[in-house]
Chains A and B, each alone.
Chain A
Amino acid sequence: QVQLQESGPGLVRPSGTLSLTCGVSGDSVSSSNWWNWVRQPPGKGLEWIGEIHHTGDTYYNPSLASRVTISVDKSKNQFSLKLTSVTAADTAVYYCTNRRIGLDFWGQGTLVTVSS
């Protein structure tokens, strides 16, 4: 059973950088899976942010691509999300998840609030 756990600050200042890490257990980030980030603003639907493969291949949502970086750390079996120049519109629950075909396993999610 794959388990994922998000970690990072719950409060980020406007114009700052949101940084989250997803620890993976029960699988290796070097497997054939793709490692994804999804977010959900309060009371709204799901938004796909992007994904990474251990080879370094990445895909990002074009709406966020200029501000997003997803990276993988094989030595720590984790992957990370950085989102720069954040505004209140980036306030959301952020989920990390893996993809084989569908998004099979999800972290519990972490609420990140952008506020001064």
Chain B
Amino acid sequence: DIQMTQSPSSLSASVGDRVTITCRASQSIRSYLNWYQQKPGKAPELLIYAASSLQSGVPSRFSGSGSGTDYTFTISSLQPEDFATYYCQQSYSPPRTFGQGTKVEI
């Protein structure tokens, strides 16, 4: 199985801050890396797929980058509605494992 190590597990930030979350795979996943946002009581929402492609309708302040085993998710200017938990997920091979999640708090 491919293990996904996401960091940090939580962070405190303010509106307007730049926020960065990293995800490391235990082997190369060839950019088959997705990022999701989950708010309390809601289903996750796909934000970024294939490491850097923005899902339709998602604001451009969200971005992703990386290749091989190391990936980064960035919110360029944190907005009040962005306080949530973020997960990475590899879709390179089954089981399609998730990272542990990063809770973004005020």
**What residues of chain A have their CB less than 8 Å away from a CB belonging to chain B?**
36, 38, 45-48, 50-51, 59-63, 95, 97, 99, 101-104, 106-109
**What residues of chain B have their CB less than 8 Å away from a CB belonging to chain A?**
1, 32, 34, 36, 38, 43-46, 48-50, 53, 55, 87, 89, 91, 94-101
User: Cα distance A101–B98 when bound, in Å?
Assistant: 14
Given contacts A102-B34, A103-B34, A103-B89, contact A48 B98 (CB under 8 A): yes
Closest Cβ neighbor of A100 among chain B residues: B49
Does more than half of chain B's interface fall in helix, strand or loop, or is it mixed?
loop
Return B97 CB to nearest CB of chain A, in Å.
Answer: 6
Taking a contact as CB atoms under 8 Å apart, the answer to whether B91 and A45 are in contact is no
Q: Which residues of A are found within 8 Å of B46, using beta-carbon distances?
A: 102-104
Taking a contact as CB atoms under 8 Å apart, the answer to whether B43 and A62 are in contact is no
Taking a contact as CB atoms under 8 Å apart, the answer to whether A45 and B49 are in contact is no
Q: Which residues of B are found within 8 Å of A63, using beta-carbon distances?
A: 95
Given contacts A102-B49, A104-B55, contact A61 B95 (CB under 8 A): yes
